[in-house]
Every structure is written in C-alpha cells, then in structure tokens.
Amino acid sequence: PRVVDDIVSAALDRRSYRWVELDSGLRALLISDANSDKAAAALEVKTGHFDDPADVAGLAHFTEHMMFLGTESFPDERSFKDFIGRHGGSSNAFTGMESTGYHFGVNANALPEALGRFASFFAEPLLREDSARREMQAVHSEFQRNLQSDQRRIFQLLKSTCDPAHPFSKFSTGSLETLGGAAAAARGAPHELVRSFFETHYEPRRMTLCVLGQQPLDELEELVGQSFAGLARLVR
C-alpha cells in the first residue's frame, strides 16, 4: 500500500495522521488520538442519485438502505445497529447527488470489531429479496415524510424546473411507484436492481475511508488492512 505521513495539521492539534491507499484502491485517512474515549469511521462512495437509471428513480438511495441489512459474515439484519448500540454508539448514512456516505461512532475499545462489521457492508452485502420488499416501504415512508417539508418541496421545485436532460432533474428519494412499478419491474426484481447498482458503482477505487481511534497509526493501518481485505473481490 501507498503511505503518506507528512500531513499538515494545526499547530495545537495533538492527533497523528496518516493517509494510505490499499492495493484494492481504497484510500483511507487514519487519525490516532490516544486521549479520545470514542472511535469513529466514515466511508464515502463516489456514486449518488445522479447515477440512478432514468426509469428507476431513487435506486442509489434504496441501495444505501439495503447495505445495512445483513452481510455474509453477519447475516442478521440488525446485527450492526445492535452491536453499535450496545457499545455506546450510533450510525447513519446519506445519499447525495454524486456520493453516498456511511458512518458510525462507538466507544473506543469497540473499534476493531465495529470496523470489521462495517467493512463487511462493502465486501459482502446480502441484499436479500425479503429485505428489499420491506425496505422499499421504509424508503416510501421517507418520501411521504418529505412531502411535508418545505425545504424538500423547494428542492424538488428546483429539480422540476431545471434542464430535464441534466441528472439534477432526477427524483432522488424513491417511492413504491419508482422502485416497484412497471418500469422498474421491467428491469428486474427490486433486490436484483440493488445488486446490479452495487456491482456497477461500489468499487474500492471509488471509496474513501476515514478512521479515528486510540490506537497508534501502525495499528490503525493494520486494522484497516485486515478489515477491508475483502474488498479485493470487488476489484475490476
């Protein structure tokens, strides 16, 4: 892996930093803070709703939801959230126009296992049919909530009045109609659409990671290398 230790930081910043690029193409910023009682990680993928197929609006957002719902190593749908909750943490994700982000925070001593569980999202997600049927309802509920948001209404107005040939015009949230209607069904079952989107856009070279922990930089580098070794199967 490529390693850079000469990272400029503020004069009063007592944390240590290292940038690494793994053989798979994943890039990571490591932050060592021996005095922190919390650890955290965030991973961003260079894909968002601009990459949605024209006839499956909201697919990037739907894929984001599905990534949390079980992996080969941790098949239970609530495995990650329950682990994070038991160790004083929280997690969330977002889908933007050109990027999708996932992050968690946890008690410092739980970082190694938390990071391994987190990494399995991106190396071995199950993306199951039954999970997809349920999660479409969650996406639709989010869409219905947004109908009451003035901010979201203004955002959609901007989209509706822009150049229809530009990807900004796409409806980003998704709904039961756009994800499970006739146009989407013609392309495949919902879980198959998610699997196709994942396999097309979730490549290690399109991923950037940041990890903060109490461990020295050498240990954090080893931890990231071990946790994300499974990404090698995604290299194309």
pLDDT tens-digit series, residues 113-172: 999 999 999 999 999 999 999 999 999 999 999 999 999 999 999 999 999 999 999 999
pLDDT for 165-210, tens place per residue? 999 999 999 999 999 999 999 999 999 999 999 999 999 999 999 9
pLDDT at 7 over 90: yes
44/64 Cα distance (integer angstroms): 11
* 8 A C-beta contact, residue 44 and residue 101: yes
CA-nearest of 129, 58, 108, 138 to 219 is 108
64 is an active site residue: yes
Give the per-residue pLDDT at 212.
Answer: 98
pLDDT at 236 over 80: no
User: Count of residues for the chain?
Assistant: 236
110/129 Cα distance (integer angstroms): 31
Give the per-residue pLDDT at 198.
Answer: 98
pLDDT at 233 over 90: no
Q: Which of 21, 44, 64, 203 is catalytic?
A: 64
Helix (H) or strand (E) holding 226: helix 217-227
Task: Supply the pTM of this predicted model.
Answer: 0.95
Q: Which residues contact 230 (CB under 8 A, 6 or more apart)?
A: 119, 120, 123, 124
Which pLDDT band holds residue 1 (cuts at 50, 70, 90)? confident
b/e per residue 157-188 (b: at least 16 CB within 10 A): eebeeeeeeebeebbbbbbbebbbeeebeeee
Give the per-residue pLDDT at 79.
Answer: 97
Which pLDDT band holds residue 235 (cuts at 50, 70, 90)? confident
